[in-house]
Amino acid sequence: MKKTASTILTILALGISGIGFADEETKELEKTDLVPSGTYKVTAEIVDAEEEELYVKTQDGKTLELYLKESTKLMKGKEKVEFSALEKGQKLKVKVENTGSSLTPKMVKIMEKKGKKEKAES
């Protein structure tokens, strides 16, 4: 009886500890938010190149799940870039369309701060 109770408690503890966190194997988050259609300044939290999926956090703490499509414009400055240009921690600007049950990314732009050297040359 003690062994069964111990096993159940271990299973419960493992299950509870994973709620709301990324599944390391699939890189998916349990809880994401929907926001109205619009443009948002965000930070990249999870970049999944295999799925071309991006989890970002808005300035007000909401987590958005974005599956990039062929029609999604992925930009860095004025240049189009590949998904591989995205990295965790980058500051991004995203334009999304709320379809009711998900967000469709229309544009993802990698934001860069100009360095002192670049400003001097401009």
Express each pLDDT in 58-70 by its tens digit: 999 999 999 999 9
- Please state the rounded mean pLDDT for residues 7-29: 45
- Domains with residue ranges and CATH for the chain: 1-28 (no CATH), 32-112 (2.40.50.320)
Rg of the chain taking only CA atoms, in angstroms: 19
For position 45, what pLDDT does the model report?
96
- Please state the rounded mean pLDDT for residues 63-84: 95
38 has a pLDDT exceeding 50: yes
For position 23, what pLDDT does the model report?
43
Continuous segment of H or E residues that includes residue 76: strand 73-76
- Please state the rounded mean pLDDT for residues 87-103: 95
Residues 6+ apart with CB under 8 A from 111: 41, 90, 91, 92, 93
For position 30, what pLDDT does the model report?
76
Kindly indicate the confidence band of residue 115, based on its pLDDT and cuts at 50, 70 and 90.
Answer: very low
DSSP letter for each residue of 4-59: HHHHHHHHHHHHHHTTTS--TTT---S------SEEEEEEEEEEETTTTEEEEEET
- Please state the rounded mean pLDDT for residues 37-53: 96
